[in-house]
Structure 1
Amino acid sequence: MQVLKFGGTSVGSSKAIEQVCQILKQHKPAGKYAIVVSAMGGVTDKLISCGQLAGAGKEDYKSVLQEIEQRHLTAIRELFPITAQSGQISQLKKKLNALENLCDGIFQVGELSARSLDKIMSYGELISCYIVAEKLKQEGLNATCKDSRELIVTDNTFGHAAVNFVGTNHNINAWQEASNADYTVFPGFVASSPDGETTTLGRGGSDYTAAIIAAAVNASVLDIWTDVSGMMTADPRMVSQAIPISHISYEEAMELSHFGAKVIYPPTIQPVMDKRIPVWIKNTFAPEDHGTLIQDSTERNFPVTGISGIQHIALLTLEGSGMVGIPGFSKRLFEALLRERINVILITQSSSEHSITVGIHESDMLRAKTTVDEEFAQEIHEKKIDPLIVEKDLCIVAVVGDKMKNHHGTSGKLFATLGRNGVNIRAIAQGSTEKNISTVINKSDVKKALNLIHEAFFEKPLKQVNLFIAGVGNVGSKLLEQLQQQQAYLQEELGLQIRVAGVANSKNMLFSEYGIKLSDWREQLPQGDASDMKQFIERIKSLNLRNSVFVDNTASGEVAKTYHEFLQHGISVVTCNKIACSSDYHYYKQLKELARSYNASFLFETNVGAGLPVINTLNDLIRSGDRIHSIEAVLSGSLNFVFNHFVNGASFRNVVQAAQDEGYTEPDPRIDLSGVDVMRKILILARESGAKMEMNDITNNLFLPDECLNAPSVADFYEQLDVHAPHFGQLLSNAVAAGKRLKFVARYEEGKASVGLQCVSPDHPFYNLEGKDNIVLYTTSRYREQPLIVKGAGAGADVTASGIFADIIRSAR
């Protein structure tokens, strides 16, 4: 005999029931069948609502009963010809009248008992069983309907009754011998107590009914037909990359179902596992899909089979020095919870015996707190232990797999993956079989955690990185262009899927959890919300996406002050904004320490030299044990451009104007010409070399007259350049007379730093530095005779964007 179970969505409409009939007709040559059906999808919830409304004295239950009646009447009218409907409608009305009478009685009494609720809930399965059996008869099949309450015997625990397998198996075997029908349809979920009262097997119990029958008749296979194509590696509603599991062991299926995989009801596995009956989970609406076959362990090359989770968990912690070395505390704790019928989902205890922690459903935490504190009232009064500590808003994420036991590093990989992304683990539990590693985390992190773990164990070729970009001007827009251009290469060659989940400029901000389309972000951004940095940060935190990176393309001091908020949430920061790293030393150091503490990257290569590897080269020297003796550099592409074009006969004013027109200077050229930008850059290099230095420790040898610097406006500044033309002409003539060239040079040596205009001779590496190029000379213990030189384009949106791009890839890898 073969047993098939069809869930609520599989019999949820006339079309679905017709599909069930087609599936069963295809099984015709294989012998006799036991078919277990659930109530129509959503009907059980409405039945519960009826009982609760009636018990509360609210007449609204009558309108809910009408909805239930109408739904089943519609199904009958769509499934059967008019000439055959009267008999079915008459039987339906008979059942619904009995249900209405039951609810009326509850309404009059004003109380809903567990016994009455079980009886109310049973009508969903009883009615769907009748309709399916009648439809099979109409299709010409030898079918009948059998009430499961006549076969399955339980205790009197209404709501979640325990099965008496001896009596149940006897009844099922007797039915099997006497039955002449090819197809027998059973209502799932329902059973009866020894005195004949209706009981239920718990929500989802139709699976259990099917397993009980399959085990009793030694079925060749148990098919569980549902609305998904088998068990998945994770919940597809939470993890879009989840994939079906083709084969899974009984033990793995049991673990996953206990930890929230809703495809199969947890108690279902035990009866069929004892008889080694294969269980095949199939999709009613895609019967050609393979589904999931549950059977004895199969060989696989990967350790983890699936990831599951339970929401709404509370942790109870009993602790105190009075527990150490004293037996009986654990026993008393569990007995107290047992008295309140509180199920314990997870247990962990410190080796010092100073504390024991258990996980329970959040709905039970108040009762748990009361009963445990009462149990240990004397010890709490004597300060031997503390009152029970209760933590809520948690969830359990479980990693399941038969092969984890023999695969080294699985738990390390799990914890490292979560830790790198700021997911805090509150408790850990692992059985001695090593088939399950369970972690308790904040429920706000559950989606992020499931995606991270799935990526780590099932998506090795592709790692998803989520970017939040502030600033989409010259540099930001070039970065987005480069990201779009390189998407295919990054996926194919580096295994990186880089998505832009948020962008912002000074006016608007735009978010998309699934990635902003880079081909039309310019059109989308104006449709976003008004820009607000505080709201931008909060939205990033609330999205809580894995492998998140904040990218700052601005020159804003306000934005630079927010980096710590990202880092302390495990969000990496990549920035070309120099303000943070050149601000107060304490803040610079704090950011570096936060990055280390929270396993986040803080990368700012483009702070100095745009796309040139200036900072990375310096860091590599220091990490390898080299010592920096001095740094000498031309660090301003705009100033280098100015002095390369300031030659005999040229007007200094016109050269500066040309630099501004080309976009090489800030809108106010004084920001560049004052040397402050170069001071920030040499300060950053000095700090990265290990110096504890502030901006006011740097000597700035100004070449601009005070009248130029202090001019009220940019226009006034240019007028002052004309006024002081002789001053600039003298600077140039002095250099030419000496056979030298003017360069704005930054220098750091043995704890001291300075910036200023210098005349460099032809034999100096700076002499032939053309255009807007930068150059840095590192004199170190290893490069003492001949300095290490980094040279190249040090300004421009393209090269700066490429430097940011490189930092993003570094943070991801």
Structure 2
Amino acid sequence: MKIFKFGGASVKDAESVKNVSMVLKSQGFEECLLVISAMGKTTNELEKVVELYFEKNNYQTEIEKIKQKHIEIAKGLFRNDHVAFDEINLFFDDIVSFLRRNKSPNYNFVYDQVVSCGEMISTKIVSEYLNDIQFTNQWLDARDYIKTDDSYRDGNVNWAKTEEFIATLNPSICYVTQGFIGSDDNNFTVTLGREGSDYSAAIFAYCLNATAMTIWKDVPGVMTGDPRKFNNVSLLSNISYEEAIEMAYYGASVIHPKTLQPLQQKNIPFYVKSFVDPTKGGTKVGACEENQHEESYILKENQTLMKISTRDFSFIAEDHMSLVFGYLSKYKIKVSLMQNSAISLALCLEDKFLKIDELNEELQKVFKTDVVKNVSLFTVRNAKMENIGKFYQEKSVLLEQIAKNTLQMVTQ
């Protein structure tokens, strides 16, 4: 079975949905499972709904705007009396109904129940359209198959249960399902982390022993740098799992960090290709004879630099490190870069749940801290060390680290 994942940009409007069918026609739709993201910027728009709800503001108007956008997309795909319009209305009614009766003050819980609706709606529209044009498929609710704990907005997969449920699927049938979502033991929706649709596709690929997995992007494949941020970048046609994992960890936006490990476990080839020109080869990630080691550039923005030292001038020891990392785990703050000396610890942090101030308050009870927000982590993979001077030009460098042809610097 093949796994295809289509992101938000590939289904952003009616013409884009029609283009998905053209991609499938060129690739073959037999024995295929499609993982589909929310349409366009729907996730961002539903995040705004959650914010307005907790601010006790008029979130209903925002919901209506998002609903009308989806109805307009449907008008470009279906006749006026098509069942898809009823489905769209039902999903948006569910959002309104949930928010009206909800009593939970847990922001992350409410977030997952609301924001996940973007994937539910988009997959219904795509599934109905494909069936109409004779690409016969069955719509699946991913929450019935991907089971997680209750870590809302950052769910951890229960692999035993997930494998058991996905094993019941018929590999000879074509399916359309959602990325980004699963459910906990109480059947509440749990999202897998922002941009987690790639990870969903990898979960299905692993559990179905897929022959290959392809994600379809608006770029030709994995590039040596984001073309929106760097000049003179080129396509990487073949890279190893290890290299791709490193790039994803450092912040390469084209690959979700958790995606690759399930694929590597079963040696499932992974392709990144362009939905604009599906006939081109794109990038193959996997075991390959000619693994490229091109100089590559990654910029991870919206980071926080925190410097920690003891108040009594003692050395930073193992017990101090244990305490710091315990707090990082408590607040779900991820370390992008770490550098320690005898008397201080410097951390470049990713704070997606906006908990840095709470972390800092806890740490200041024991340590002296210095915090700089809104910094960037710039990474050069496979750096040509004889030419690294050029990367320091016109940058205010707060922290740097060089290891095995990888240059990293935190900049303002």
Q: TM-score, normalised by structure 2?
A: 0.92
Q: CA deviation at 1:148?
A: 0.4
The C-alpha deviation readout for 1:574-631, integer Å capped at 9, x for no partner, is xxxxxxxxxxxxxxxxxxxxxxxxxxxxxxxxxxxxxxxxxxxxxxxxxxxxxxxxxx
Partner of residue 185, structure 1 = 176
Partners of 2:304 and 2:199 lie apart in 1 by 28
Runs (4+) of structure 1 exceeding 6 A deviation are none
Q: Residue 315 of structure 1 aligns to which amino acid in structure 2?
A: L
Task: Kindly indicate whether the alpha-carbon contact (under 8 Å) linking 1:151 and 1:172 is maintained by their aligned counterparts in 2.
Answer: yes
Q: Secondary structure at the match of 2:313?
A: helix
Partner of residue 438, structure 1 = 408
The C-alpha deviation readout for 1:410-446, integer Å capped at 9, x for no partner, is 34532x2234x35353323356xx374322222xxxx
Partners of 2:159 and 2:190 lie apart in 1 by 15
The C-alpha deviation readout for 1:149-176, integer Å capped at 9, x for no partner, is 0000000001111101111011111123
Partner of residue 559, structure 1 = none
Partners of 1:63 and 1:43 lie apart in 2 by 15
Partner of residue 345, structure 2 = 356
The 3 A distance-change label for structure 1 pair 28 and 395 is closer
Partner of residue 387, structure 2 = 413
Q: Residue 268 of structure 2 aligns to which amino acid in structure 1?
A: I
Partner of residue 394, structure 1 = 375
Partner of residue 155, structure 2 = 161
Partners of 2:375 and 2:43 lie apart in 1 by 28
Partners of 1:47 and 1:62 lie apart in 2 by 11
Identity in percent: 27
The C-alpha deviation readout for 1:781-805, integer Å capped at 9, x for no partner, is xxxxxxxxxxxxxxxxxxxxxxxxx
Partners of 1:96 and 1:147 lie apart in 2 by 17
Partners of 2:131 and 2:4 lie apart in 1 by 17
Aligned-residue CA RMSD in angstroms? 2.3
Task: Kindly indicate whether the alpha-carbon contact (under 8 Å) linking 2:385 and 2:405 is maintained by their aligned counterparts in 1.
Answer: no
Q: How does 1:502-517 map to 2 (within 5 A)?
A: none
Q: CA deviation at 1:324?
A: 3.1
Partners of 2:289 and 2:363 lie apart in 1 by 44
Partners of 2:391 and 2:219 lie apart in 1 by 29
Partner of residue 16, structure 1 = 16
Task: Say whether 1:123 aligns with 2:117.
Answer: yes
Partners of 1:40 and 1:325 lie apart in 2 by 48
Q: How does 1:228-247 map to 2 (within 5 A)?
A: 228-247=219-238
Q: How many residues align?
A: 409
Partners of 1:412 and 1:373 lie apart in 2 by 41
Task: Kindly indicate whether the alpha-carbon contact (under 8 Å) linking 1:2 and 1:33 is maintained by their aligned counterparts in 2.
Answer: yes
Partners of 1:428 and 1:290 lie apart in 2 by 36
Partner of residue 239, structure 2 = 248
Partner of residue 95, structure 1 = 91
The 3 A distance-change label for structure 1 pair 143 and 390 is same
Partners of 1:299 and 1:282 lie apart in 2 by 19
Partner of residue 307, structure 2 = 317
Partner of residue 267, structure 1 = 258
Partners of 2:255 and 2:150 lie apart in 1 by 25
Partner of residue 276, structure 1 = 267
Answer with 1 or 2: which has the greater Rg.
1
2:107 to 106, 110, 113: 113
Partner of residue 33, structure 1 = 32
Q: Secondary structure at the match of 1:282?
A: strand
The 3 A distance-change label for structure 1 pair 322 and 298 is farther
Task: Kindly indicate whether the alpha-carbon contact (under 8 Å) linking 1:256 and 1:307 is maintained by their aligned counterparts in 2.
Answer: no
Q: Secondary structure at the match of 1:264?
A: coil
Partners of 1:325 and 1:357 lie apart in 2 by 11
Task: Kindly indicate whether the alpha-carbon contact (under 8 Å) linking 2:26 and 2:279 is maintained by their aligned counterparts in 1.
Answer: no
Partners of 1:98 and 1:144 lie apart in 2 by 22
Task: Kindly indicate whether the alpha-carbon contact (under 8 Å) linking 2:333 and 2:355 is maintained by their aligned counterparts in 1.
Answer: yes
Q: CA deviation at 1:364?
A: 4.4
Task: Kindly indicate whether the alpha-carbon contact (under 8 Å) linking 2:31 and 2:172 is maintained by their aligned counterparts in 1.
Answer: no
The 3 A distance-change label for structure 1 pair 92 and 325 is closer
Partners of 2:405 and 2:138 lie apart in 1 by 42
Partners of 2:108 and 2:314 lie apart in 1 by 39
Q: Residue 316 of structure 1 aligns to which amino acid in structure 2?
A: M
Q: CA deviation at 1:388?
A: 1.3
Partners of 2:16 and 2:379 lie apart in 1 by 33
The C-alpha deviation readout for 1:186-234, integer Å capped at 9, x for no partner, is 1111100012111111111111110000011111110101211112111
Task: Say whether 1:204 aligns with 2:231.
Answer: no
Q: Residue 441 of structure 1 aligns to which amino acid in structure 2?
A: T
Q: Residue 395 of structure 1 aligns to which amino acid in structure 2?
A: S
Partner of residue 7, structure 2 = 7
Task: Kindly indicate whether the alpha-carbon contact (under 8 Å) linking 1:254 and 1:266 is maintained by their aligned counterparts in 2.
Answer: yes
Q: TM-score, normalised by structure 1?
A: 0.48
Q: Comparing both structures, which one devotes a greater share of its residues to helix?
A: 1
1:425 to 391, 397, 402: 397
Partners of 2:410 and 2:365 lie apart in 1 by 26
Q: How does 1:464-543 map to 2 (within 5 A)?
A: none
Partner of residue 75, structure 1 = 73
Q: Secondary structure at the match of 2:308?
A: strand
Task: Kindly indicate whether the alpha-carbon contact (under 8 Å) linking 1:57 and 1:110 is maintained by their aligned counterparts in 2.
Answer: no
Partners of 1:393 and 1:195 lie apart in 2 by 38
Partners of 1:123 and 1:397 lie apart in 2 by 34
The 3 A distance-change label for structure 1 pair 74 and 154 is same
Q: Residue 390 of structure 1 aligns to which amino acid in structure 2?
A: V
Q: CA deviation at 1:339?
A: 2.7
Partners of 1:64 and 1:435 lie apart in 2 by 48
Q: Residue 127 of structure 2 aligns to which amino acid in structure 1?
A: A
Partners of 1:173 and 1:250 lie apart in 2 by 25
Task: Say whether 1:335 aligns with 2:326.
Answer: yes
Partners of 2:394 and 2:64 lie apart in 1 by 51
Q: Secondary structure at the match of 1:280?
A: strand
The 3 A distance-change label for structure 1 pair 326 and 43 is closer
Task: Kindly indicate whether the alpha-carbon contact (under 8 Å) linking 1:149 and 1:191 is maintained by their aligned counterparts in 2.
Answer: yes
Task: Kindly indicate whether the alpha-carbon contact (under 8 Å) linking 2:43 and 2:118 is maintained by their aligned counterparts in 1.
Answer: yes
Partners of 1:430 and 1:157 lie apart in 2 by 35
The C-alpha deviation readout for 1:22-54, integer Å capped at 9, x for no partner, is 21133337x300100001011111112112212
Partner of residue 134, structure 2 = 140
